[in-house]
Every structure is written in C-alpha cells, then in structure tokens.
Amino acid sequence: MAFPPRAFYSLHEAAARWGCTLSDIAGWASVGRFDIATGIAPTQCGDTILEGLVAVPVQDILPMFLTSGAGPTRKTLRRIRALDSREWLLITDPDHKVKVTLNVLVIMADDVIRFERDCDVLRRPAVSVSSTKRYDWDGMYISLIKRVHEQGVPESQNAWIGEVQEWFVRNSVTGEVPDERTIRRRITPVWKSLRDPCG
C-alpha cells in the first residue's frame, strides 16, 4: 500500500530540495510566492478563533532567517491568518502567545509543487538511506566549535540541529544534506557534554 502524498515540507527540507538558503525561502515568501505556515492551538483573534495550520507573516520574523546565524532563534507572533484567506488577524487574547522557531515552520506540499512548476525549479535528487555519500562532518564540527566560541551554546538541541541543517544546505556542493536523525546522533554527545560538563 502506497503512502498518500506529503502534506507539507519543513523549511530545511525545502532548502535542501531546491539547493537554496533559508533566507532565499523567506524572500520568496515575503513577496507572495508561497505561504510559510505553522500549527497552532485554538487562538483568539477578535471574534474569530483560528487553529491548526495557519500562515505566518514572514516580514514580522525576518531576523530569524539571517544566514549569519546572528538572528533570534524564537519569535512571538502578533498576527496570523487562515491559509485560505488573505486577511491578517491580530491575536487579541494575551494568554494565546504563538511562539515559533525555524524548526516548526513549513511550506504546504501543494505550494512546493506549484512553485517548482511556475519557476521551473529542478528538484535536487533525494539521498538514499544507504547512500555512501561522504558529508563534510569535519567542516560541520569546525562550525560548531566556532559557534560555541563566538555565541555560546544554543538555547535548545533542536535549535542547534536546525543550524547544522542550514550549514549543510549552504555548504553542500551537490545539495545532499544529512537527515535530521543522523545529525542528532552526531551532535547529541557534544550537546550533552556542553550542557553537563561534569556528567
């Protein structure tokens, strides 16, 4: 039995698929090429309650997409909109804070396919699980050391995994990027050691 089509792609998956950076994706979304979405619990916006997958105002969180890694890793949204609407709604209940990180932002699969068709984007070939492709792990570890030296340890392991995924997207010659599980396996010992150096 075949799986149904994908519903959405994470931003890191889309960047690897297209061979571009997260800032490229933010730019295209900001000029209306496609929506960037996230999932939310029921949230009060005036007389309307929005829940599930909603569009995110990219302009409001643009600093998160800085390729230098110097931008914030988490932002609180002040407005959202339904994916089938063009009207942005202010979040009016102060207890309904919608916080996002890059790891919880997605592009709907229909938008990905339409964007590739409209812009004649050649999708990068997927990497087989059994692929013997050698990733630049040494370069990645050097970037980790530099990051900790200059900026300290990230606020969460998931945020660090996102940074590593973006590093591979920016530095891969072929567009091939390790999957999240492989990256997590590589950096978890480093993360644990830095968080609990006496452990």
Contact 62, 122 (CB under 8 A): no
**Considering the entire predicted model, what is its pTM?**
0.63
Angle at 128 between CA 126 and CA 131, to 5 degrees: 125
Domain ranges of the chain: 8-118, 137-192
Q: Is 45 exposed, middle or buried (0-12, 13-18, 19+ CB in 10 A)?
A: buried
Residues 6+ apart with CB under 8 A from 150: none
Q: What is the pLDDT of residues 135-168, one digit of tens each?
A: 788 888 888 888 888 888 888 888 888 888 888 8
Q: How confident is the model at residue 97 (pLDDT cuts 50, 70, 90)?
A: confident
Distance of CA 190 to CAs 6, 118, 149, Å? 33, 42, 14
